[in-house]
């Protein structure tokens, strides 16, 4: 598990991955991992719509397969979609052949050139092969909204502490994160707007 902001040295493990966008531009990139699921994902989409903000959703293929309505809601709202494997696999504990097949299985439902490995870790053989087909998007700020030892106030405090120009901010539209997300996301959006940040998605 990485801390909220990954040190520069660790970012060099995957040199072709994007960890942060333009540090000279006052913009942030909101991302949501692990969905789509009923209740949580539609709430996120509706909230973002109220603010007229677009984000990127790194989706688990099995969830897309099971929850087509929620998937289509995200797509129709104009958000960017990314691949997060079919079964939320941990690359370090999965053979390279199995892992790559799992990513490609997810892409049959997701159809995206963006990829984010669950937990941010995978074998270099997996990384080298998948780099040929996908753009790796990591993060500059991990909110840890899934952590039951943190409350919503903690999440917002971390966001205020670590957000900077070009930050890729990672939330999770999952049941595990729901309570913290419902508290933190609207307050985060308000604060980011107050600070003058614009919101972007990946090309």
Contact 20, 140 (CB under 8 A): yes
The total of other beta-carbon atoms located within 10 Å of residue 161's CB is 11
Quick one: how far is CA 58 from the chain centroid?
5
Contact call for residues 5 and 140 (beta carbons, < 8 A): yes
Are 43 and 182 contacting, i.e. CB atoms less than 8 angstroms apart?
yes
Cβ atoms 28, 163 nearer than 8 A = yes
Q: Which residues belong to the active site? A: 33, 172
The secondary structure of residue 150, as a DSSP letter, is S
Q: Which among 182, 194, 143, 151 has a CA at the least distance from the CA of 30? A: 143
Which is nearest to 61 in space by CA: 81, 90, 39? 81
């Amino acid at each position: 598990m990485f801390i909220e902001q990954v040190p520069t040295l660790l970012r060099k493990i995957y040199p072709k991955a994007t960890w942060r966008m333009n540090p000279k531009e006052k913009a942030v990139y909101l991302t949501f991992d692990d969905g789509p699921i009923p209740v949580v994902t539609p709430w996120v989409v509706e909230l973002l719509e109220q603010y007229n903000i677009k984000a990127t959703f790194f989706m688990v293929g099995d969830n897309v397969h099971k929850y087509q309505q929620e998937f289509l809601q995200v797509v129709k709202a104009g958000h960017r979609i990314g691949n997060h494997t079919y079964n939320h696999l941990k690359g370090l504990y999965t053979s390279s052949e199995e892992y790559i097949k799992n990513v490609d299985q997810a892409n049959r439902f997701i159809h995206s050139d963006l990829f984010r490995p669950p937990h941010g870790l995978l074998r270099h053989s997996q990384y080298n092969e998948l780099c040929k087909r996908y753009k790796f998007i990591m993060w500059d700020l991990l909110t840890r909204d899934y952590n039951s030892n943190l409350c919503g106030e903690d999440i917002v405090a971390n966001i205020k502490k670590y957000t900077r120009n070009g930050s890729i901010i990672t939330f999770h539209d999952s049941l595990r994160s729901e309570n913290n997300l419902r508290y933190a996301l609207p307050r985060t959006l308000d604060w980011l707007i107050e600070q003058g940040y614009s919101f972007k998605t990946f090309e």
